[in-house]
Amino acid sequence: MSDAFFVATSAAAAATDAAAPNWLMRALLVDSWMGVALALYGLLAQAVFMSRMMVQWIASERAKRSVVPVAFWWLSLSGAAMLLVYGVLRQDIVIIIAQAFGFFVYMRNLSLIAREKKDTEA
């Protein structure tokens, strides 16, 4: 792309960023609208990941014993994938390594559950 495109885009972004509510950027510890968007995505990803614990807790309370429902593993996988994307975008090696490892653990648990289901249906 041309240099003129980048100059125009940067000028438009600077004008937009200047109009951003200071309290929101301070609260999210960012200094641009792109930072706001990334922070909000990260919070959504974390909410998906944390919701797995609520699902597990509710299932255990209903069963009156500790259980791990399949939804727990799907929420774990979804949340880990979202957090992995967040970590890559933030270029945060700690998040990348933690979520990449968890991603494989959650996939393996789902494959074991699928295999068990297939074996019981046969």
Over residues 52-107, the pLDDT tens digits come to 999 999 999 999 999 999 999 999 999 999 999 999 999 999 999 999 999 999 99
pLDDT at 20 (0 to 100): 53
Position with higher pLDDT, 20 vs 35: 35
Distance CA 26, CA 30 (A): 6
Domain with 114 in it: 32-121
68: three-class secondary structure by DSSP: coil
Contact call for residues 70 and 113 (beta carbons, < 8 A):
yes
| 4 assigned to some structural domain | no
| 24 assigned to some structural domain | no
CA distances from 83 to 54, 72, 75 (A): 18, 16, 12
| 5 assigned to some structural domain | no
Percentage of the chain modeled with pLDDT above 70: 83
pTM of the model: 0.75
| 10 assigned to some structural domain | no
| 3 assigned to some structural domain | no
Number of structural domains, the chain?
1
pLDDT at 122 (0 to 100): 73
| 44 assigned to some structural domain | yes
Q: Reply yes or no on whether the pLDDT at 109 is more than 60.
A: yes
In which residue are the tokens 């270029």 written?
A: 91
Average of per-residue pLDDT values in the chain: 88
Phi then psi dihedrals of residue 68, to 5 deg: -125, 100
